[in-house]
Amino acid sequence: MWGTGHIAALVVAGALTVQGLCAPAARSHGRPTDPGPTTGTRSEVRAVPATADRRGAVLVVRDTRLFSVLGVTWDDPSAHLAGSVAVRTRSAGTGRWSGWRHLDGDDSQGEDTALRGGTDPVWTGPSGGAEVRIAAEGASVLPAGLRLDLVDPGPDAPATARPAPTAAHGAPNAELAPRPPITSRAGWGADESISPEPPGYLPDGKIKAVVVHHTAGSNDYTCAEAPAVIRGIYVYHVMQLGWKDIGYNFLVDRCGTLYEGRKGGVDRPVMGAHAYGFNTETTGVSVLGTYTDVTPSPAVLTAVARVAAWKLGQYGVNPAGTATLTAGDAGRNYFGSTWAKGARLSFPAIHGHRDGYNTQCPGHQLYAQLPTIRILAGG
């Protein structure tokens, strides 16, 4: 794929293209051009030059500002990158290069406010250099405006779990499952100034199913680093892709700690941007890391089950049962099933992202544990 005659690596050593939290995409949404000192997050972007036939692209950046999260983005938010995206990074501590990581270029279409398309963001740990290799597959060409986005999530913030309330807002069946401890947005250090738009809620006011994801990032983070991982995803979704907030409703770290994702109230039916075509009837829970080959821990399975049982219990949905969802657009899933807009489809009440979209998410190993999660949630 990467023969010497196909594409030559371009080594960029010139002036940095630095994008703070005043990204052009963000300004078009009325977001502030100066985020202030709340989190210290900032980002840097580099154009990834493509070959003349737009079949491949390579970029090597040996010296950058410190970053811990990266992704590859492109101009058209409705375009998909059909091909392979591989990245590696140079550790800021040791100067050594990591192994290659593969990013999903067609994970989701995001939300209506998106101003750029992009891969999932990946946690790299503190890094000072990066290399990206992109190759189109089949007869496709790469989308225009390819860019490497590097995010520094800023200093850590203490994570504090909020106690479970005695009652949940708008939750007629909340007594069926107790609310688990959930670390608030303030607990993971969300800079609320970068996403001033108000939250949206499910049109019918009812969560019918839980969609399970993984963030497709590194599994090497420590649990103390989890808030920084979430801040990096948040900044990437909002400032790099132009979403109004982080896409997931809830996140879970490798130690089983639950975190509040999209704002609007964890006890309310907040509409996320996590399952294209099915956002209006579901809530999304994403586990930090990649679970294609790694088996999630019992703590992860328990945390996902607890939040799923609580959210579904609010609306009288059996977590071990099924849900009928109406497709908001035509689609295709990982298993090759297709449907038209408006189709009525049956899903498990707790299902994987791949069931409703053509993606590997939430990874083979986490997907294989969904029956266990349903049993735990039902019990």
* Residue 51 pLDDT > 70: yes
- Interval 266-289 mean pLDDT: 96
- Interval 184-204 mean pLDDT: 96
Mean pLDDT of the chain: 86
* Residue 265 pLDDT > 60: yes
More confident site: 130 or 8 = 130
Question: Mind listing the pLDDT tens digit for each residue in 326-362?
Answer: 999 999 999 999 999 999 999 999 999 999 999 999 9
Question: Mind listing the pLDDT tens digit for each residue in 5-18?
Answer: 343 333 343 333 33
Q: Give the per-residue pLDDT at 328.
A: 95
Q: Give the per-residue pLDDT at 109.
A: 61
* Residue 273 pLDDT > 80: yes
Burial (Cβ within 10 Å: 0-12, 13-18, ≥19) of residue 201: middle
Ranges 163-177, 260-274, 280-294: which has the least confidence: 163-177
Distance between CA 369 and CA 379 in Å, rounded? 16
- Interval 228-251 mean pLDDT: 96
Q: Closest Cα partner for 160 from 221, 226, 112? A: 226
pLDDT confidence band for 43 (50 / 70 / 90): confident
pLDDT confidence band for 168 (50 / 70 / 90): very low
- Interval 156-178 mean pLDDT: 49
Amino acid symbol at 300: V
Find out whether 127 and 66 touch, Cβ atoms under 8 Å: yes
Q: Answer whether the bond into residue 298 is a cis peptide, omega within 30°.
A: no
- Interval 69-93 mean pLDDT: 94
- Interval 58-84 mean pLDDT: 93
Q: Give the per-residue pLDDT at 220.
A: 87
Helix 370-378 × helix 298-314 angle, to 10°: 50
Find out whether 147 and 49 touch, Cβ atoms under 8 Å: no
Distance between CA 278 and CA 325 in Å, rounded? 7
Q: Give the per-residue pLDDT at 11.
A: 38
Query: What is the reported pTM?
Result: 0.86
- 3-class SS letters over 4-51: CCCCCCCEECCCCCEECCCCHHHHCCCCCCCCCCCCCCEEEEEECCEC
Find out whether 69 and 120 touch, Cβ atoms under 8 Å: no
Token pair recorded at residue 176? 């069926």
Q: Give the per-residue pLDDT at 40.
A: 58
pLDDT confidence band for 157 (50 / 70 / 90): low
Q: Give the per-residue pLDDT at 218.
A: 84
Q: Give the per-residue pLDDT at 6.
A: 41
- What's the residue count for the chain? 379
pLDDT confidence band for 308 (50 / 70 / 90): very high
- Interval 120-131 mean pLDDT: 94
